[in-house]
Structure 1
């Protein structure tokens, strides 16, 4: 049985087949609780469109008053840092424009998002399984 058996989330491209997913968490500046359901819904729409620009797909999105979680399926040519920073920049600009009355710029010092974020690769087999699969390859003598 091969490592790729049973998987259905592979991205075929010209010279590569990939299955890269990232889980990112982005928090508001100073962890201020600014989001409500309507703002999170709009933030998800914006995020989905930015992902399309990167030829990526937003698989899951949710959030609370002070942060959002993203699960993105992305091609290998995309740097996660560029994707997340673009998502933060575009969403901040649009959310501030569209919800000016709900975001107190004085509290946020002109920024919606913290400069930091969390990202971790995820999906596929656990590392121990991949390690074992590689170890068990038949090496020529």
Structure 2
């Protein structure tokens, strides 16, 4: 797979972040309609911020998100936007989540695709639901 380089007026970059983050107390809340709505919200956030989703897999108790971003977007900024918007909107739209003060933990895992190819990470993320 050929890498997609991002070009702006002054920058050519290839920064791909692999994020893993979990709901508070590792609750299994990302299922059915919540999962569908979460994916749509993430797609909307990414489109608004000019981030490209390479792969996304949502498990009931955690999410893998593989994104291409510009160097001006720090991983902390990306997670703050994704977690902030999805937490607020999902708790507003789904009554069984409304009692939670926050949907997500404050922590997350992030790595860049430095030592392995983006294709390898994409396959890993996509294979998460098939793992036993």
Return the TM-score normalized by structure 2: 0.80
1:103 to 97, 116, 129: 97
Per-residue CA deviations over 1:27-82 (Å, capped at 9, x if unaligned) read 00011111213211211111111112222112211111111110111011111101
Judging by fraction of residues, say which structure has more helix.
2
Structure 2: where are the runs of 5+ without partners?
118-132
**1:130 is matched with which residue?**
none
Moved over 3 A (4+): 123-126
RMSD: 1.9
Q: Distance in 1 between matches of 2:2 and 2:97?
A: 43
Residue in structure 2 matching 1:37, options 10, 32, 39: 32
Structure with max Cα Rg: 1
Q: Counterpart of 2:15?
A: 20
Higher strand share goes to which structure?
A: 1
What is the count of residue pairs matched by the alignment? 117
